[in-house]
Amino acid sequence: IRRSCKCKFLLSSVQGNVYLVVSFVNRIKDNAGMLSNFEVLDFLSESQQKSQGKRPNGRGQNLATVTYETTEYLSKTPAAVQNPTCIENFLKAIAPFNLTKAEKLQLVNLRPMSQVELQLIIEEIDERFSDNKIEEILGIVSSELPPSSPPNDENPVGSDHQ
């Protein structure tokens, strides 16, 4: 049985994170979810490869531009060096801390390196965790998520140095 469905794409940026919301609308239900920056980068890279050699026009040109710019941005973030295995290992290691889905997503996307950065990601961190637990979270982030290595001629995303 074949069903017709419509697919809607929405790129959104919140606090430096790019979200691709994919909504498949059919007769049964809508599906939408949060994706990590790695998943968005992977999806857009595949999309670019599939459309290579094709000449976009009209709305297709706008989509191609947004896809290119988003891919360029994400290639300068930790998402560029992540892979499904490291993300899966990270999520297993961080599970005992009972973080929300949004907090785990932010940790994967931003790869914080200091307590100050963690305070911006994890709500009420001082009430929920001791200093030792906070250091443990940072240790898991640094051991399970690969460090991003920005190109030499450009500043990393979020850097104020010019």
pLDDT band at 138 (very low <50, low <70, confident <90, very high): very high
- Two structure tokens written together for 47: 């999309």
pLDDT band at 64 (very low <50, low <70, confident <90, very high): confident
Mean pLDDT of 69-79: 92
Domain edges within the chain: 6-76, 79-144
The pTM of this model reads 0.70
pLDDT in tens, 80-107: 999 999 999 999 999 999 999 999 999 9
Mean pLDDT of 6-32: 51
Instruction: Work out the angle at residue 32's Cα, subtended by the Cα atoms of residues 140 and 64, and round it to the nearest 5 degrees.
Output: 90
d(CA 152, CA 155): 8
CATH, domain range 79-144: 1.20.1250.40
Round the CA-based radius of gyration of the chain to a whole number and report it: 18
